[in-house]
Each structure stands twice: as structure tokens, then as C-alpha cells.
Amino acid sequence: MALCVVPAACSESSQLQGNSGPSGGTIVVATTAEPDALFPPVTATLQGRQVTELLFDNLAQVGTGMNSLGDSGFVPRLAQSWTWADDSLSIAFKLNPKAAWHDGRPVRPSDVVFSFHIYTDSTVGSPVAAQLSQIDSISSRDSTTAVVWFKHKYPRQFFDAASQMLILPEHIYSAPGDSVVRKAAELNPVGSGRFRFGNWKYGESITLLADTLNYRGRPGIDRVQFVIAPEFTTALTKFLTGEADVFEALRPENLADLSKHPGLKTIRLPGMAYVFMQFNLRDPKNPANQHEIFSNKALRTALSMALDRDAMVRNVFDSLASVAVGPTVRAYPTTPKSLPRIAFDTEKARRMLDSLGWRDTNGDGVRERNGRELTFSMLVPSSSRSRERMAVLIQEQFRQVGVRATIESLDFPALMQRQSDRDFDTMLWAWQLTPSPSGLRQTWTSTSSRTKSGSNFGSYENRQFDVLVDSALAESNSERSIQIFERAYKVIIDDAPAIWLYEPKTVLGVQGRIRTTPMRPDAWWLSIADWTIPPGERIPRDRVPPGK
């Protein structure tokens, strides 16, 4: 058996003292959307992740190096050590004996078993379930050891076992599968993270408080408050005027404003999200039928050709984004150095539409076929100014080839409901990626298209793509894995189930009094418990007594 014991991170000091000592202060994060839920198995939005990942812990967490192969670089959380079986078909996680839930109860192996059951219960509908499909079961070996059993060996066993699930307290959330989500919605979340839940003023803010007796050490600050400002300008103003300390959605034009505020700084991280225009390949009103327009691959290709993505990205982002390469990001080690793209070619797009029978026969500027106009709607979240701007540019470039696209700008809850119901023609959406490319199974494979918990909302299905993704994820040799991923990406790019629009860089605005620590590119917030505010630089909100 192989034993791995990893020391706790040295930055997680248990000797931080309080609001006037080395620790203390408040960090206010301006965010443009409300979390969808604070129950980890069903949380699907970035805002939901940010809060729940501060309240709950994994068994172990991916390190700043972003490795998801084997167990190298993983940082202990609830598990203080782990042991691989000789045949690599199980891993025994030894829980930290000091680990406790925020209500004081100890964390037990039975909580790990319970969490796996909840995440994989089909009545719960967790979007993570598909990524746990290669785990056979989890059992309790003794009072401090949880054993994860696998169906077979594969390169990302440890990542799936240790980092896909945030562990839940069984004594809090235990309920029949079909009611556990409802029960969770009625409760204040109870986790084991270095922050505990304070309050949620819906539409205004969510406050998290330092768990001063946490097994991993007291946080360097007393509280984190997420202030919800759906309008981008409002959120930016809160940051520029000092009402907020952190804002993660800065745009090129904002950087000039920041230069006028010497107390502000920016931190740039590699982009870990891609934005795309998703085609719904099924009829929104009758999903059993194919979409009248978008079920045709040649038409989707023509629409992709009609867009000058390079010019649009420069227009909206200047140098703070790149044209997306596909359903991946350049920062991934599994992303090939170059991938084919459907090139911008207006004339060819027009010829393809002509050949498909879509012609402007009445001279009104809009193509039609068999009495049906080539017109459709684009759903856009009103909280994303960049996507709204991009939608306007897309609308105009489609108009130039005889296509009418209308823009439906919806608040986030309304858009997510339409998305969940698959009630849309097209949608400008984004995926924030985790360290493992296994998320492709959840977002673009056939299984995810057909299951309630799947996130393949456009219903794209290609068996060849599915097989290649599975093969790439199963390949332990990194070079061969990249080669197989390249073949998979070529298939989906050629199928054009979406137009891959842009890959934004993360530009984090931070107030100068805050001392940050190294951040993981895909999840800057994970290190916030180690951030500090020097006593001499604290402002009035930093001096609110701990626990308030």
C-alpha cells in the first residue's frame, strides 16, 4: 500500500488572534448575481460555488498548480492522510481528528458515505453526479477512515474521490432523497470550512463569519460579505468608492479608472472560463422533435462563418480576452497548442445559406424558406454587460447575411429557469472550468443531454465525441491524452453545436489594504481565508466585533 501524509499548509496559522491583532477585518466582495443555492450538490453557478466552497470542505483540494492527475500537489482538507490499495482500486482517507462541523459535532466517515449517496441520488439531480460515475461506493472502515472504492483504475481517481464532493453533515441534511434539497433550502448551511454562515439578505448580501475554532486554523479576517449588485455599473461603483474590497469582473475601460485610485490594485489570472452561443438542437416547445433551424449542421456552420469573432472580442475586451478555441481553455494542460476553427467568411456563409434554401425572396432583408423566416432569439443574462454587448454585435453581423436575431435579456433566475426547461433557441452562456477536463462529460456528452441532472442544455449528441472524451480521460500518458482530446475537440468544433465566442482573462480588483496570497486560477476565492488586513490599515467596517 502507498501511504501519503501531507502537512497542513503553513499559511493556515492557528495563532491568529482577533479583530485588533494579526487577524481581523472584513472583506466585501461585489458580485453581479445571487447564488442559485447554498447546498453543494445542486449548486451550479459561479456565485453559488464561491459561497459554498468557503462554507464546506473537500477531503483534499487541488493545489495552485492545478494538477488533477494522481495525488501530487493536492492539499489536505478533511482528510489528513490517505492510503492507496495495492491494486489502486480503493483509497482510504484518514480524517483529521480535529475536524468538526460548525455546530461542534465531529466530522465522521459516515458523513462522507452520506455525501456520496446524496450527490449520486437521481432524485437530487446533482450536476456533479456524472463525474462520480466511476466510483463504485464509499464505506466506513472505522471511526476515522472512509474508503472510496472504484469500478476500475483511471488517471483522475484521486481527483474524483477527494475534490468533486464538498462533504455534508449527515445529522443536518439527512432526509429522503426526494426531499433533501427542499430540507436544505429551509436550513442555514452548516459546513466545516474556515467560514461559517452568518446571514443571507436576499437581493442584498450574504455574510460569512470566521470559524474561530476551525480545525485548519482561524481565518486571517473576521468576515466575508458578498454584496449583490445585479447592474455591472453599480457593482463597479461600489468597488471604486470603497464600499466593496474585491471585484472580479473588471473590463478594459475600467483599468483607466483604477489608475485614478492609488489605493486600488489589480491581479491578473489565466482565464478559466469560456463563453459561447449555444444552439438548441431540439424544439423548445416539443423536445421530442428536432429544432426546425438548428438541427441542421450546415446552417450552424454558416452562422459561425458569419461572425468576425476576432473583431468582436477586440471591440468588447481589447486585450482582456481571446477568441475561444472550443469547449476548453488555453490554460488546461490537456488543451492542444492549436485547434481548427470555423473561419470568418461572410460570402461563403451567404452561399451556404442560399444552398440550404434560405433566401430573401421578398427583399425585406430577412431570409425565408417555405414561408418561415430565418429568425430566432438569443437569451442573455442581464447581469453580464459583456455578453449584452456581444449579443448586439452578433445581431448586427447576422443581419448582414440576412438573419434576424432578437435579444432577450433576462435576470439570472429567469434565464436559469429557461435554460433548465431547455426553452430557448440560442443562449449566450459561460462555463467556469474546474481543474479537470472531466467536466466535458457533464456539459457536452450524450448522457448529459438525456439526463435531468445533465448540463448539456442544447442537446448535442455525438457518439464519436463521447468515446473520444472517455478515452482521453482514461489515458494515463499525458501526451497521448492530449492527442485524443485534440481529436475530440475537432469533432465537436466541426459539428458546431455552439459558436465559441471568447475566453475572458480574470482581472481581479482588490483594495490596497488587503494582503492576498497565491490564488488558484479557476477559484481565486479559495485562498481568501489566508488574506489579511494589517491593523494599522483597517477601516471602520474592519473593526466590527468578530461574530457580528
Q: What is the structure's pLDDT at 69?
A: 87
Q: Mark whether 223 and 122 lie in a shared domain.
A: no
Distance from chain centroid for Cα 64: 16
Report the first-to-last Cα separation within the chain, whole angstroms.
48
Domain of 533, in residue numbers: 195-269+507-543
**Backbone phi, then psi, for 358, in 5-degree steps?**
-90, 105
Cβ proximity of 110 and 140 under 8 Å:
yes
Q: Is residue 203 part of a domain?
A: yes
Boundary of a domain, candidates 163, 187, 211: 187
Per-residue pLDDT band for 331 (boundaries 50, 70, 90) equals confident
pLDDT at 260 exceeding the cut of 70:
yes
Q: Is residue 527 part of a domain?
A: yes
Q: What is the structure's pLDDT at 4?
A: 42
Q: Is residue 30 part of a domain?
A: no
Q: What is the structure's pLDDT at 279?
A: 98
What is d(CA 358, CA 366) in angstroms, rounded to the nearest whole number?
9
Cβ proximity of 383 and 232 under 8 Å:
yes
What average pLDDT is seen over the chain?
Answer: 92
Number of compact structural domains in the chain: 3
| Local structure of residue 11 (DSSP, 8 states) | T
Boundary of a domain, candidates 124, 157, 187: 187
Amino acid at 193: G
Degrees, nearest 5: CA angle 80-94-160: 85
**Across the chain, how many H-helices and E-strands are there?**
16, 22
Distance from chain centroid for Cα 332: 14
pLDDT at 488 exceeding the cut of 50:
yes
Q: Which residues of 305-335 are buried (b: 16+ CB within 10 A; e: fewer)?
A: bbbbbeebbeebbeebbbbbbbbbbbbbebb
Q: Is residue 10 part of a domain?
A: no
CATH code of the domain containing 221: 3.40.190.10
Choice between 379 and 230, residue whose per-residue pLDDT is larger: 379
Q: Is residue 364 part of a domain?
A: yes
Q: What is the structure's pLDDT at 14?
A: 34
Q: Mark whether 246 and 215 lie in a shared domain.
A: yes
CATH code of the domain containing 353: 3.10.105.10
pLDDT at 546 exceeding the cut of 80:
no
pLDDT at 232 exceeding the cut of 50:
yes
Q: What is the structure's pLDDT at 144?
A: 97
What cell was used for 409? 435579456
Per-residue pLDDT band for 13 (boundaries 50, 70, 90) equals very low
Identify the residue whose cell numbers are 434576424: 404
Q: What is the structure's pLDDT at 21?
A: 59
Q: Mark whether 307 and 439 lie in a shared domain.
A: yes
Indicate the SS3 state at residue 328. Answer: coil
Q: Is residue 298 part of a domain?
A: yes
Residues 6+ apart with CB under 8 A from 223: 26, 27, 195, 198, 207, 208, 209, 210, 544, 546, 548
pLDDT at 542 exceeding the cut of 80:
yes
pTM reported for the whole predicted model? 0.79
What cell was used for 523? 477559484
Q: Mark whether 380 and 488 lie in a shared domain.
A: yes
pLDDT at 285 exceeding the cut of 70:
yes
**Backbone phi, then psi, for 209, in 5-degree steps?**
-115, 145
Average pLDDT rounded to a whole number, residues 375-383: 95
What cell was used for 211? 470559524
Residue 149 neighbours by CB distance under 10 Å: 14
Boundary of a domain, candidates 187, 213, 238: 187
CATH code of the domain containing 171: 3.90.76.10
Q: Is residue 363 part of a domain?
A: yes
Question: Smallest Cα–Cα separation from 182: which of 121, 110, 124?
Answer: 124
What is d(CA 335, CA 47) in angstroms, rounded to the nearest whole number?
26
Q: Comparing 140-149, 423-432, 475-484, 527-536, which segment has the lowest mean pLDDT?
A: 475-484
Q: What is the structure's pLDDT at 130?
A: 86
Q: Is residue 210 part of a domain?
A: yes
Amino acid at 396: E
Q: Mark whether 434 and 317 lie in a shared domain.
A: yes
**Backbone phi, then psi, for 73, in 5-degree steps?**
85, -5
* Residue count (the chain): 548
DSSP 393-442: HHHHHHHTTT-EEEEEEE-HHHHHHHHHTT--SEEEEEEE--SSGGGHHH
Residue 84 neighbours by CB distance under 10 Å: 18
Q: What is the structure's pLDDT at 83?
A: 98
Choice between 149 and 331, residue whose per-residue pLDDT is larger: 149
Q: Mark whether 312 and 204 lie in a shared domain.
A: no
Q: What is the structure's pLDDT at 548?
A: 65
Average pLDDT rounded to a whole number, residues 182-208: 95
Distance from chain centroid for Cα 187: 24
Choice between 546 and 190, residue whose per-residue pLDDT is larger: 190
Per-residue pLDDT band for 41 (boundaries 50, 70, 90) equals very high
pLDDT at 382 exceeding the cut of 80:
yes
Q: Mark whether 332 and 479 lie in a shared domain.
A: yes
Q: Mark whether 100 and 226 lie in a shared domain.
A: no
pLDDT at 513 exceeding the cut of 50:
yes
Q: Mark whether 264 and 145 lie in a shared domain.
A: no
**Backbone phi, then psi, for 150, in 5-degree steps?**
-110, 155
Helices (H), 150-206: 157-163, 170-173, 180-186
What cell was used for 69? 492527475
Q: Mark whether 339 and 470 lie in a shared domain.
A: yes
Q: What is the structure's pLDDT at 1?
A: 40
Q: What is the structure's pLDDT at 547?
A: 65
Of the chain, the percentage scoring pLDDT greater than 90 comes to 78
Strand arrangement of the beta sheet that strand 145-150 belongs to: 2-5, 79-84, 90-95, 145-150, 135-142
Q: Which residues of 134-144 are buried (b: 16+ CB within 10 A; e: fewer)?
A: bbeebbeeeeb
pLDDT at 15 exceeding the cut of 50:
no
Q: Mark whether 201 and 181 lie in a shared domain.
A: no
Q: Mark whether 289 and 383 lie in a shared domain.
A: yes
Pairing of strands 145-150, 90-95: antiparallel
